Chains A and B, each alone.
Chain A
Amino acid sequence: MNSITNVEKKIDVVVISTEGYLNKDLGESILVIAKEHIGEGFIKFLINLKDSNIVNSIGASIMIELIEELQDKDGALAFCSLAPIVEKTFTIMGLTKYCSTYESQEAALSAMA
C-alpha cells in the first residue's frame, strides 16, 4: 500500500518511485535505499512521487534528513510529479529551500544531468 515501487539508475541519478502515504514507514524505506546507494557512491537522487499524493510531516522530516546527508557529500535530492498538497507540505516544512521539484521525471533527469 505504502511502498517503494521502483528503484532505477539513470546514469548517475538514482530514481526512487513510490506509492501511497509518504509517512514514517515509507520515508524510512526511502532513507534505507538511498543510504545503500550512497554507500555505492551515488550522490544524486530523484524521488518520483507520482503515486504518492499524501504526505505527513514525519515523512517530510525524513526527507530533510536525507537532504542533510546528501549535502554533506555534495550530493543532491530532487522530487518530481508532486501532488499540489504534497508540494504545499514540502514548502511549509522547508524542503523546497534545499532541493528542486520538477513536474515530471523526464524534466528532472534532464535538469540533473
Chain B
Amino acid sequence: MVSKTIETESIEHIIGLENKLQHLKRSLDLKFVALIFVRMRTCVKQLGGDTFISGDTSTLDHCCNVNHCNVGKENKIFTLIEPSPRIVSYKIYSIFVDSLLIGALVIDSGSDTPLQLRNFVSHIQCLLIKSRYEFKLKRKEIDFKYKLLEVESLIDILGTLNQASELNREVYDKVLFSITSVLNASKGMILLKDSGAGVFSLVSSFNIDDKDVSARVITDNRGTLKQLRENRVGMILTDFDKVPFIPPIVKNALICPLNDHYGLVGCVILLDKESRSGHVNFNTRDLRLCESLSGKISLVHNNFNLISSLNNTTKLVESIMSSVTTSIIKINKFGEIEYVNQSTERLFGFNQSAIKDQHLAVVFENNSNLIEICAQVEKDPQKHYLEDISISDALGRSHKVNLTITPVIDESSELDGFVFSIEDLSDLNKIKSTFKKYVSENIVDEVLKNDTSLELGGAQQKVCVLFCDIRGFTAMSEHMAPHEVVHLLNHYFESMIEIVFRHGGTLDKIIGDELMVLYGVPKPSEDDIDNSIKTALGMFDALEEFNKRFGSEGYPRLEVGIGINYGAVVCGNIGSKRQMNFTVIGDEVNLASRLCSNASPGELLISKAVFEGTRLQSQFKARSPLRVKGKKKEVEVWTSSI
C-alpha cells in the first residue's frame, strides 16, 4: 500500500500535466493513464494539456461521465487514446469544476487505488480552478490596459482640443490619429461640412488616399450622411453602397456625427478594426467610445464657432460704437462702468481704461443729475429720455445733451444694469450756428429735420421774393480802399440780415451789394407777404441807424431800393450733388428784381400780388405802372416811399 501512495506534495511541484500523469503512473504502478478534456480548453492548455474531445456537448458528457467502459463500445475517448491490446476495459474518473464536467482521468480497470486517484483528480480540479482564475485575471489585466489606453487617449484628445487656439488640420490630425489607434482601426477620416455650399470635405485622413475622397461631392442629402443628419447618432456601417466615398474595406466601419445646434456639421469615420488574428467588426462598445469622442469634437467645434461669431459680433459692435457720435455707457447692476465708447471719452474727457469697473458715483462725481437718474431708473426700470440737460466733463466744461437711459433686463427679468446714450448737443449747436452764417436759419432747421430736403430737385410753390440793393455803391466804392469796402459791406449785411432773420426770411443769396430774400420757403406761412414788407421797412430803419454810426466814422451814406413780388416760382435745390443752393427761379423772381431796380433810394416797390395779399395796404399808394423787361403789359406797382 505504501509503495502505491501518490506523493501528493511532490506532484504539486511537478510542472505540466503530462509529467504529473507519468508521475502518477509510476507511483501507482498503472498500466495506462490519460487525461481527456471536453471543456476549459484555454485553462487546460495553460496547464500543458492537449487532449481534447470535440463534438456536441451531450455526447462528450456521456463519454466522460461513466465509471467504466470497454474498448470498442464506441466511446469517443478511444478516438484519442491508443488502447493497449492487453487492456480490455478502463476506469474513468470524471473531473468536475463547479458541477460542470470538464474531462476525465482514464486508467486501466486493473488498478485498484481509488482514493489516490480521487486525490489526483482533486488536484487537477484545483489546478483548473486556479488556471481559470489566472486566465480571468489576465483577461482583466488586458481589459484594464485597454481601458487605461482609452482613458489616456481621451486625455490626449481632450488636451489637444483644449490647447488648440484654432481648429486646423493639425489639430484634427492629432485627434483622428488618437481615435484611430485607441480603437485599433486601420484607417480613418474626418469630414466637415462647408456651411456655405453644404458640401462635406476632408479635413483629416489616416491611411487613406485623400484623392479618393476629395474627388467626390459629398452631401447629406442622401445615403448614410442623410441618416446621420436625421438620427444624430453614430452607426456601425455594413452597407457600403450607401457610402460611396468610403474606400474599399474588409470588415465594417464606424461613422459618428459632429453636430451643432442646427444639425450635422461633420463626421468621424473609422474603418477596419484590427485584431491579432486579422480584421474584425467594430462592436457597440467601440461605437460608444467613438460617439463620446466625436461629441467632444463637436463641442469644441461649436465653441470655436461661437467664439468666432462672438468675436465678429464684438468687432462689429465695437466698430459701430466707435463710429457713432452718441456717447454710450454701459453700467452693470452693481453700478460699475462696464463699457464706454470713444464718443464718451471725447464728451467727458475720460480715459476708457481708467474708468472701466469704477462705480458711477465716482466717475460721475460732478454729474449728480446722472446718478439721480440712475436711481430713478432702478426704481422704475423703464426707458427714460431727458432733453437738453447739462453735464460736466472732466475739465469742468458744461455740455448740453439729450440723455436716454435704457434699463438692461436679464433672462430672469431682473435689472442687470443700464445703458446711457448721450447725444452731445454742443456739436450740433456749433454746426447750426456756423451753418447759419452761410445759410438762412430756416433752411438749416429744415435740412437738420428732414433728410430729403438735401435732395436735388424742385417744386412749384408760391413765394414772396425781396430784393434789396444799395444805390450807387459801385461808384461809391471806387473812392474807398478795398478793406474799407469790405468793412462797410460786412456791417451793412450784418444789420440787414439780422432784420431778415427776425422776420422769418430765408436769405437766398448775396449778389455783390444786393440781397435776395425769400418768404414762404422751405415752409409757406400766411404771414409771408407781411413779413417781407416788415423786413423791408425794418431795413430802412436799420439803415438809418447804420448811416448814423458809420457816417460819424467818415463813411459815405448808404441808400437802398427794395422790390417785393409774390407769386408761383420753382423752388428747390439747384446745383450738383457736391454743391447746391436752395433758391427760386421764374418770372415772378425776375419781376421782384425789376421792381428793386426801379425803386428809388429809400423806396419800396411792391407788385399787385403783394399789395392784394398784405394787411399793411394802408402804408402803400399806387404808383404809375412800370414797363419792365420780359412783360408785355405794364405792371401795376405800389410804393411805400414816405
A89 to chain B, nearest CB (A): 6
Question: Which residues of A15-74 have CB atoms within 8 Å of chain B's CB atoms?
Answer: 20-21, 23-25, 53-58, 61-62
A29 to chain B, nearest CB (A): 14
**A1, A54, A58: the one within 8 Å of B275 (CB):** A58
If the complex has contacts A24-B274, A85-B156, A92-B149, are A56 and B207 also in contact, measured as CB distance less than 8 A? no
Is the Cβ of B181 less than 8 Å from the Cβ of A54? yes
Q: How far apart are the CA atoms of A113 and B149 in the complex, in Å?
A: 33
Question: Which residues of B152-166 have CB atoms within 8 Å of chain A's CB atoms?
Answer: 152, 156
Is the Cβ of B145 less than 8 Å from the Cβ of A62? no
If the complex has contacts A23-B274, A24-B274, A58-B274, are A92 and B184 also in contact, measured as CB distance less than 8 A? no
Is the Cβ of B276 less than 8 Å from the Cβ of A54? no
Q: How far apart are the CA atoms of A21 and B188 in the complex, in Å?
A: 12
If the complex has contacts A55-B181, A56-B184, A61-B276, are A21 and B207 also in contact, measured as CB distance less than 8 A? yes
Instruction: Flag whether A99 is at the interface (Cβ < 8 A).
Output: no
Instruction: Flag whether B348 is at the interface (Cβ < 8 A).
Output: no
B side interface size, CB within 8 A: 20
B176 to chain A, nearest CB (A): 10
Residue of A nearest to B279 (CB): A24
Q: How far apart are the CA atoms of A20 and B274 in the complex, in Å?
A: 16
Question: Which residues of B298-331 have CB atoms within 8 Å of chain A's CB atoms?
Answer: none
Is the Cβ of B146 less than 8 Å from the Cβ of A57? yes
For A1, what are the chain B residues with a Cβ–Cβ distance below 8 Å? 207
A90 to chain B, nearest CB (A): 11
Q: How far apart are the CA atoms of A32 and B185 in the complex, in Å?
A: 22
Instruction: Flag whether A94 is at the interface (Cβ < 8 A).
Output: yes
Question: Which residues of B405-445 have CB atoms within 8 Å of chain A's CB atoms?
Answer: none
For A54, what are the chain B residues with a Cβ–Cβ distance below 8 Å? 177, 180-181, 206
Instruction: Flag whether B148 is at the interface (Cβ < 8 A).
Output: yes
For B182, what are the chain A residues with a Cβ–Cβ distance below 8 Å? 56
For B184, what are the chain A residues with a Cβ–Cβ distance below 8 Å? 23, 56-58
Residue of B nearest to A2 (CB): B207
**A23, A55, A85, A93: the one within 8 Å of B145 (CB):** A93
For A58, what are the chain B residues with a Cβ–Cβ distance below 8 Å? 184, 274-276
B187 to chain A, nearest CB (A): 9
Is the Cβ of A94 less than 8 Å from the Cβ of B145? yes
Is the Cβ of A88 less than 8 Å from the Cβ of B274? no
Per-position binary interface string of chain B over residues 175-209, scored 1 when its CB falls under 8 Å from any chain A CB and 0 otherwise: 00110111011100000000000000000001100
For A21, what are the chain B residues with a Cβ–Cβ distance below 8 Å? 180-181, 186, 206-207
B270 to chain A, nearest CB (A): 11
For A25, what are the chain B residues with a Cβ–Cβ distance below 8 Å? 186
Residue of B nearest to A86 (CB): B181
For A85, what are the chain B residues with a Cβ–Cβ distance below 8 Å? 156, 177-178, 181
Choose among B146, B184, B278 the residue with the greatest number of A CB atoms under 10 Å from its CB: B184
Q: How far apart are the CA atoms of A8 and B88 in the complex, in Å?
A: 63
Q: How far apart are the CA atoms of A54 and B146 in the complex, in Å?
A: 16
Q: How far apart are the CA atoms of A92 and B147 in the complex, in Å?
A: 10
Residue of B nearest to A93 (CB): B145
For B145, what are the chain A residues with a Cβ–Cβ distance below 8 Å? 57, 92-94
For A53, what are the chain B residues with a Cβ–Cβ distance below 8 Å? 177
Q: How far apart are the CA atoms of A24 and B181 in the complex, in Å?
A: 11
Is the Cβ of B276 less than 8 Å from the Cβ of A92? no
Is the Cβ of A89 less than 8 Å from the Cβ of B181? yes
Q: How far apart are the CA atoms of A85 and B180 in the complex, in Å?
A: 13
Q: How far apart are the CA atoms of A23 and B276 in the complex, in Å?
A: 10
Q: How far apart are the CA atoms of A112 and B148 in the complex, in Å?
A: 31
For A62, what are the chain B residues with a Cβ–Cβ distance below 8 Å? 276
Q: How far apart are the CA atoms of A43 and B337 in the complex, in Å?
A: 75
Q: How far apart are the CA atoms of A25 and B185 in the complex, in Å?
A: 12
**A23, A92, A94: the one within 8 Å of B152 (CB):** A92
Q: How far apart are the CA atoms of A88 and B154 in the complex, in Å?
A: 13
Q: How far apart are the CA atoms of A18 and B184 in the complex, in Å?
A: 19
A23 to chain B, nearest CB (A): 6
For A55, what are the chain B residues with a Cβ–Cβ distance below 8 Å? 181
**A2, A20, A24, A57: the one within 8 Å of B149 (CB):** A57
Per-position binary interface string of chain B over residues 473-499, scored 1 when its CB falls under 8 Å from any chain A CB and 0 otherwise: 000000000000000000000000000
Is the Cβ of B181 less than 8 Å from the Cβ of A92? no
Q: How far apart are the CA atoms of A88 and B206 in the complex, in Å?
A: 20
Residue of A nearest to B149 (CB): A92
For B274, what are the chain A residues with a Cβ–Cβ distance below 8 Å? 23-24, 56, 58
**A2, A56, A94: the one within 8 Å of B181 (CB):** A56
For B181, what are the chain A residues with a Cβ–Cβ distance below 8 Å? 21, 54-56, 85, 89
For B146, what are the chain A residues with a Cβ–Cβ distance below 8 Å? 57
Choose among B149, B178, B180, B206 the residue with the greatest number of A CB atoms under 10 Å from its CB: B149
For A24, what are the chain B residues with a Cβ–Cβ distance below 8 Å? 186, 274-276, 278
Is the Cβ of A88 less than 8 Å from the Cβ of B152? yes
Question: Which residues of B131-149 have CB atoms within 8 Å of chain A's CB atoms?
Answer: 145-146, 148-149
Per-position binary interface string of chain A over residues 88-110, scored 1 when its CB falls under 8 Å from any chain B CB and 0 otherwise: 11001110000000000000000
Q: How far apart are the CA atoms of A53 and B185 in the complex, in Å?
A: 15
A91 to chain B, nearest CB (A): 9
Is the Cβ of A23 less than 8 Å from the Cβ of B186? yes
A43 to chain B, nearest CB (A): 24
Is the Cβ of B206 less than 8 Å from the Cβ of A92? no
Residue of B nearest to A65 (CB): B276
Q: How far apart are the CA atoms of A93 and B149 in the complex, in Å?
A: 8
Per-position binary interface string of chain B over residues 265-283, scored 1 when its CB falls under 8 Å from any chain A CB and 0 otherwise: 0000000001110100000
Q: How far apart are the CA atoms of A44 and B178 in the complex, in Å?
A: 31
Q: How far apart are the CA atoms of A3 and B370 in the complex, in Å?
A: 76
Residue of A nearest to B208 (CB): A1
Q: How far apart are the CA atoms of A43 and B580 in the complex, in Å?
A: 99
Q: How far apart are the CA atoms of A23 and B152 in the complex, in Å?
A: 18
Q: How far apart are the CA atoms of A25 and B142 in the complex, in Å?
A: 21
Q: How far apart are the CA atoms of A19 and B276 in the complex, in Å?
A: 20
Residue of A nearest to B141 (CB): A94
If the complex has contacts A2-B207, A54-B180, A54-B181, are A89 and B276 also in contact, measured as CB distance less than 8 A? no
For A92, what are the chain B residues with a Cβ–Cβ distance below 8 Å? 145, 148-149, 152
Residue of B nearest to A85 (CB): B156
5 A-B pairs (CB sep. < 8 Å): A21-B206, A23-B184, A24-B276, A62-B276, A92-B148
Chain A residues proximal to chain B, CB less than 8 Å:
1-2, 20-21, 23-25, 53-58, 61-62, 85, 88-89, 92-94
Contacts beyond the supplied A56-B182, A92-B152: 8 A-B pairs with Cβ under 8 Å: A21-B180, A24-B276, A55-B181, A56-B181, A56-B185, A57-B149, A57-B184, A62-B276
Please provide the 8 A-B residue pairs with the shortest distance between their CB atoms, ordered closest to farther: A24-B274, A56-B181, A56-B184, A58-B274, A54-B177, A92-B148, A54-B181, A92-B149
